[in-house]
Amino acid sequence: MNDPNIVILAGGVSSRMRNIPSASAGLDPILLKETLQKSKSMLSVGRGTRPFMDYILYNIREAGYKNVVIVVGDKDTSIRDYYNLHGGAKQFSELNIDYVTQIIPDGRTKPLGTADALLTVLQSKPGWRGKSFTVCNSDNLYSVKALKLLLIDTNKNSMIDYDRSGLQFDHSRIEAFAVLQKDQKGFLLDLIEKPNAADITQIKDDVGRIGVSMNIFKLSYDMIFPYLNAIPLHPMRDEKELPLAVKTMVEKCPKCMMTIPLSEHVIDLTHQSDINQVKEYLEKEFPNL
């Protein structure tokens, strides 16, 4: 078993959830109100108003992780309040849950992005030097299998290589996911954001499989740290993004990131239009949680 450490990135301002008012039709008024007040991961989409984060932590625990760091925003106390003040952490007593706050710098309306969030975590965890850890989004419910594959993988850096045909999103949404270019041994060559038709043709494997990233990585503290610190702001999104840090690391250090193929759907809670589908899924798949 490798280092049982995982980071959940939950410090964003949930702008995509809040910027689609047309999707609110048919949405529970309480949940609609929550989209304006809480982190996406704390929406009460589960049984008995359980937050989405509970299901993420459940799968993390079942996969064998022990140490969890949740990145929280400096203007949203919903995560800490639920797990600390209201006793939510008691149901996950096997996990050591810690929090790191991602500050919104003066003059900005949102944090500096996922690379900055992870950099903030690593700066607060010098004891993780020389070790690897998993990092994932807070608006995706990754399976126990996916999480465990990264935990037991013996490479310093690895990522889940999702078969695009196994995802059940709308075609237009799937087309926007970053695609993975790999060598014959499965090492990542490139992470291509917003791929075009030529990119897709180039990266198809011998059986026509297209691998995509759903932003779940196992990373070496020592290897990723300098790239988190050095990458520039994205020219369009004005954030420092973790995928660019990974891409830069791979360019500078060939054969340092292994891809792990997996074909399954990933539950996503990005937009208001996802909420009812997520509720139905959690009711069905976690009847006893």
pLDDT at 206: 64
Six token digits for residue 201: 């043709």
Q: What is the pLDDT of residues 172-182, one digit of tens each?
A: 899 889 999 99
Q: Which residue has the higher pLDDT, 204 or 237?
A: 237
**187-199, pLDDT tens digit by residue?**
999 999 888 888 8
Q: Which two tokens stand for residue 221?
A: 């503290």
Helices (H), the chain: 15-18, 29-35, 52-63, 78-80, 114-124, 144-152, 171-175, 197-203, 221-230, 242-252, 275-285
Residue range 245-266: mean pLDDT, rounded: 97
Confidence band, pLDDT 50/70/90 cuts, at residue 266: very high
Distance CA 262, CA 150 (A): 11
Angle between helices 242-252 and 221-230 (to 10 degrees): 110
| Domains, in order of start, for the chain | 5-285 (3.90.550.10)
User: Strand 5-10 relative to strand 67-73: parallel, antiparallel, unpaired?
Assistant: parallel
Instruction: Give per-residue pLDDT as tens, 60-92.
Output: 999 999 999 999 998 888 999 999 988 889 999
Question: How large is the average pLDDT for residues 112-117?
Answer: 95
Sign of CA dihedral 153, 266, 71, 68: negative
Of 281, 16, 246, the residue nearest 141 (C-alpha): 281
Q: Which 3-state string (H, E, C) describes 103-149?
A: CCCCCCCCCCCHHHHHHHHHHHCHHHCCCEEEEEECCEECCHHHHHH
Three-class secondary structure of residue 38 per DSSP: coil
- Whether 35 and 272 have beta carbons less than 8 Å apart is answered as yes
pTM of the model: 0.94
Place of tokens 């995802």: 167
- Across the chain, what does the average pLDDT equal? 91
Inform me whether the pLDDT recorded for 1 exceeds 90: no
- Band the pLDDT of 22: cuts 50, 70, 90: very low
Q: Shortest CA distance to 118 belongs to which of 199, 8, 2?
A: 8
